[in-house]
Amino acid sequence: MTTTLTPRRPRPPAQPATLRARRLPAYAAPVIAVAALLLAAALVYGAGIGGPVLVVVVGALLYLAGLFVAANAVEGRRSARNRTWSALIHSAFVLAVLPLASVVWTLVSKGSERLDANFFGTSMNNIGARDANGGAYHAIVGTLQQVGIATLITVPLGVLCAIYIVEYGRGRFAFTIRFFVDVMTGIPSIVTGLFVLAFWVLIVSPWFNDGRPGFSGFAAALALSVLMLPTVVRSTEEMLRLVPAPLREGAYALGVPKWKTILRVVLPTALPGIVTGIMLAVARAAGETAPVLLVAGGGAAINFNPFENNQSSLALFVYQQAGEASKYSPARAWTAALTLVALVLVLTVAAKLLARRNRLGR
């Protein structure tokens, strides 16, 4: 007796269950934001307790509360938390960008009044309170010379100091250097100006000036270099520490000396970060007023010699024009401030492009 086995037909594959969760519509967040701003404006202006800034702050708080309530009712508590924290992060970003955008808009709107050839081609020499002309050519020259000399002094010292701390420094001496660099980071700028005034202007400069102390742009560059040094050292040190150890070990395994490894491997790898730290120091130095006022004295005439006579800078020019009793001075101050920001921006972009080109070339 034979039995025949009929093969079973395969079952059709089970269809995967689709997980569909309720979600807020795309227009919900903008509607809640507009409603929150309107309600905040009604509360603030109705009570007479503030202005637009308070309206934005209260509106942001009402928006976060409204978004959480709406998301909690539609999507659930977990999704509501996620939406609320995401909105809080985005709001913090907007609040951080708003002051920067306000500063840029104020500089451009008020500083564009004197963006002319006269401002960039003349100085304040023989310019009275009733004269509408006069420019910042002497201040631009002083800023470029003082910051340039300070950079030439600071960058080699700062980079070499950071290389010693990271690559060679061991023990108490390296700890002492790092400690004093940290202390120098918090020194007020006027203290560095007083130090250079007491040492260079009153003691050293009389040797080169027939026994008479004299102000100069070089003295201002020395004061600025003291301010720049800790920033360059600390930023370079952190960038060198971020270079992976296998890069150094690979070079050592090939028999490359340590100094050549630092020069050809470590420094090129850390170069973008080092350039960023240097430009931060340059930006700080370019905006300092007190050291230049103490040791360079300022001046209304053009001085191309940084080693003799008084010299001005853009930051000092802004300070002086802001205090002048003339209706034309505020426009000069705003244009000089805009020029200073643009100058630092151009130098930063140029340094970044140069560092990127050198890195790609290697």
Q: What is the pLDDT of residues 141-160, one digit of tens each?
A: 999 999 999 999 999 999 99
Sorting pLDDT into bands at 50, 70 and 90, what band is 318? very high
CB 164 within 8 A of CB 176: no
* Tokens found for residue 322: 């802001």
Q: Which range among 181-185, 220-224, 236-240, 334-338 shows the weakest confidence by mean pLDDT?
A: 181-185
| Residue 35 pLDDT | 92
Task: Evaluate if residue 335 carries a pLDDT over 90.
Answer: yes
| Structural domain contains residue 13 | no
Q: Tell me, what's the pLDDT at 18?
A: 47
The top-scoring range by mean pLDDT among 50-64, 168-182, 305-319 is 305-319
Q: How far is CA 265 from the centre of its chain?
A: 27
**Is residue 16 one of the residues assigned to a domain?**
no
Kindly state the tokens that stand for 98: 């708003």
pLDDT at residue 358, rounded to an integer:
57
Q: CB-based contacts of 40: which residues, under 8 Å, 6+ apart?
A: 55, 56, 58, 59, 62
Looking at residue 108, what is its pLDDT? 92
- Cα–chain center distance at 2: 91
Q: How confident is the model at residue 356 (pLDDT cuts 50, 70, 90)?
A: confident
Quick one: 108 and 131 in the same domain? no
Asked whether residue 28 carries a pLDDT value surpassing 90, the answer given is no
Q: Are residues 90 and 233 in the same domain?
A: no
The b/e string for 242-261 (b: 16+ C-beta within 10 A; e otherwise) is ebeeeebeebeeeebeeeeb
Over residues 73-96, the mean pLDDT reads 86
Instruction: Please give the structure tokens belonging to residue 295.
Output: 């040791």
pLDDT attached to residue 2: 53
**Residues 205 and 241 grouped into a single domain:** yes
Q: What is the band of 17 on the pLDDT scale with cuts at 50, 70, 90?
A: very low
What percent of the chain has pLDDT above 70? Answer: 93
Q: Are residues 40 and 154 part of one domain?
A: no
Residue range 193-226, pLDDT digits in tens: 999 999 999 999 888 888 888 899 999 999 999 9
- Domain-ending residue, one of 112, 143, 175: 112
Q: Is 131 a domain residue?
A: yes
The verdict on 225 and 196 lying in the same domain is yes
Q: Tokens 């020029």 identify what position?
A: 339
pTM for the full predicted model: 0.79
Q: Which pLDDT value is given to residue 13?
A: 58
Number of neighbouring beta carbons within 10 Å of residue 33: 17
User: What is the share, in percent, of the chain residues with pLDDT greater than 90?
Assistant: 39
Whether residue 350 sits in one domain with residue 213: yes
Look at residue 177 and tell me if it is in a domain.
yes
Q: Are residues 105 and 139 in the same domain?
A: no
Stretch (H or E) spanning 67: helix 52-74
Would you tell me the crossing angle of helices 137-163 and 314-322 to the nearest 10 degrees?
A: 130
Last residue of a domain, one of 85, 112, 139: 112
Tokens of 248: 């150094």
Reported as a single tens digit per residue, the pLDDT across 251-281 is 888 888 998 999 999 999 898 889 989 999 9
**Same-domain status, 57 and 188:** no
Asked whether residue 238 falls in the same domain as residue 314, the answer is yes
**Among 49-53, 114-118, 285-289, 305-309, the least confident range:** 49-53
Please give the tally of structural domains in the chain. 2
Structural domain span for residue 85: 28-112
- Asked, for residue 63, whether it belongs to a domain, the answer is yes
pLDDT (0 to 100) of residue 313: 93
| Residue 2 maps to a domain | no
Residue 15 lies in a domain: no
Query: How many whole angstroms from its chain centre is CA 5?
Result: 82
Determine the Cα–Cα distance for residues 147 and 347; give it in Å rounded to an integer.
Answer: 11
**Residue 147 and residue 106 in one domain:** no
Which amino acid appears at position 314 of this protein?
A: L
Q: Do residue 218 and residue 86 come from a single domain?
A: no
**What CATH number does residue 280 fall under?**
1.10.3720.10
Could you tell me if residue 104 is inside a domain? yes
Lookup: tokens for 314: 């853009």
Average pLDDT taken over every residue of the chain: 87
- 229 and 253 together in one domain: yes
Judge whether 244 and 199 are in contact, CB under 8 Å.
no
Q: Which of 112, 140, 164 is the last residue of a domain?
A: 112
d(CA 136, CA 120): 6
